[in-house]
Chains A and B, each alone.
Chain A
Amino acid sequence: MTLADWIAEPVNWAFLAMAFPMVLAALRVVTSRNVVHAALFLVLALAASAGLFLLLSAEFVAWVLVLVYIGAVVVLFLFGIMITRAPIGKETNLSHKKIWPAAVASLAVFGVTFWLIYELGEQVGGFSDTLPAVGQATPTEILGEGFINIYLIPFEAVGFLLLAALIGGITLARKDLSPAEEREGAGL
């Protein structure tokens, strides 16, 4: 498939319309001098990736992403910022002073991954064919069956992990009370 063919497909315009804001928002997440702005740009990047999942016919995953990430995780982040950071607003020392080693490392990661994609595409083949599944949404029924048939034990394990993590989070974050406060029930 040549570039001209690729551009001629209208669905690729939708892809570009989501991929460009996504990359720009991601760049702002890692460079913004304001923590709150960084967290809000993460919302933009994740919303764009939910749009890409809709393009890839993964409807359920897209809405899970919107509910869990944009609805819960980012709110948790904003709470965390509000609790831990006294100076909300512009700040100069969010990043290290020397950032070129980080830039070199991330460019190296991108270079190696890009080369791997190329090599894998050569070996497996068909990476530049039109994606077969696009167009019809994956029924949620299939995902549900997958969760309770093939992936039952991982599903239970991840549920247990989530419970343990949340209880651990509460235990870590709660204030240690003195015995007198404990008797008065100040922790409740």
Chain B
Amino acid sequence: MVLTQFLVLGALMFSIGVFGLLSRRNAVTILLSVELMLAAVNINLVAFEAFWNTAAAHGQIFAIFVITIAAAEVGIGLAIILLVFRNRASGNIDELDLMRW
């Protein structure tokens, strides 16, 4: 196994996530795309850790931080979506145009 194969896979996953982020209009599916992008970042971190092979496994620790932050992000994101849905009866991002001029 070489480093490049993991980096290319990470880049591919990240761009798929970007595609989902931009093409979706449902808020829950946008959050799913963000999760894909975070998973791509984790692959990169762990692969670089295996490449540099640091004594304290910095890359893996960072990956765990990313997982934690992603969990917090999903919790708060879904709460906001729930609130929006309760107020507007719609989960679509492009119908939230209150702050648009």
Query: Does B9 lie within 8 Å of A169, measured CB to CB?
Result: no
Chain B residue at minimum C-beta to C-beta distance from A106? B19
Secondary structure class of chain A's binding surface, majority of residues: helix
Query: Does A131 lie within 8 Å of B78, measured CB to CB?
Result: no
A173 to B84, CA, bound (A): 10
Cβ of B72 < 8 Å from any Cβ of A? yes
Residues of B within 8 A of A150 (CB): 56, 58
Residues of A within 8 A of B55 (CB): 142
Known interface pairs A93-B25, A161-B69; A110-B60 also in contact (CB < 8 Å): no
B31-46: CB near A (< 8 Å → 1, else 0) gives 1110110010011001
Query: Does B50 lie within 8 Å of A58, measured CB to CB?
Result: yes
Residues of A within 8 A of B39 (CB): 45-46, 49
Chain A residue at minimum C-beta to C-beta distance from B10? A113
Distance in angstroms from B77 CB to nearest chain A CB is 9
Distance in angstroms from A80 CB to nearest chain B CB is 4
Interface size of A by Cβ–Cβ distance < 8 Å?
87
A47-73: CB near B (< 8 Å → 1, else 0) gives 001001101111011001100110011
A6 to B1, CA, bound (A): 7
Interface size of B by Cβ–Cβ distance < 8 Å?
70
Cβ of B96 < 8 Å from any Cβ of A? no
A-B contact count (CB 8 A): 255
A77 to B68, CA, bound (A): 16
Residues of A within 8 A of B94 (CB): 96
Query: Does A57 lie within 8 Å of B50, measured CB to CB?
Result: yes
A130-163, CB < 8 A from B: 130-134, 138, 142-143, 145-147, 150-151, 154, 158, 161-162
Query: Does A114 lie within 8 Å of B11, measured CB to CB?
Result: yes
B1-49, CB < 8 A from A: 1-9, 11-26, 28-29, 31-33, 35-36, 39, 42-43, 46-47, 49
Apart from A30-B19, A95-B29, A110-B11, what 6 extra A-B contacts exist at CB < 8 Å?
A27-B16, A73-B74, A127-B7, A133-B49, A143-B57, A143-B64
13 contacts between A and B (CB under 8 A): A19-B5, A22-B9, A29-B32, A29-B36, A46-B35, A61-B64, A73-B71, A84-B28, A95-B23, A96-B23, A96-B24, A127-B3, A138-B57
Binding site for B on A (CB under 8 A): 1, 6, 9, 11-12, 15, 19, 22-23, 26-27, 29-30, 35, 38-39, 42, 45-46, 49, 52-53, 55-58, 60-61, 64-65, 68-69, 72-73, 76-77, 79-81, 83-85, 93-96, 99, 101-103, 105-107, 109-110, 113-114, 117, 121, 126-134, 138, 142-143, 145-147, 150-151, 154, 158, 161-162, 165-166, 168-170, 172-173
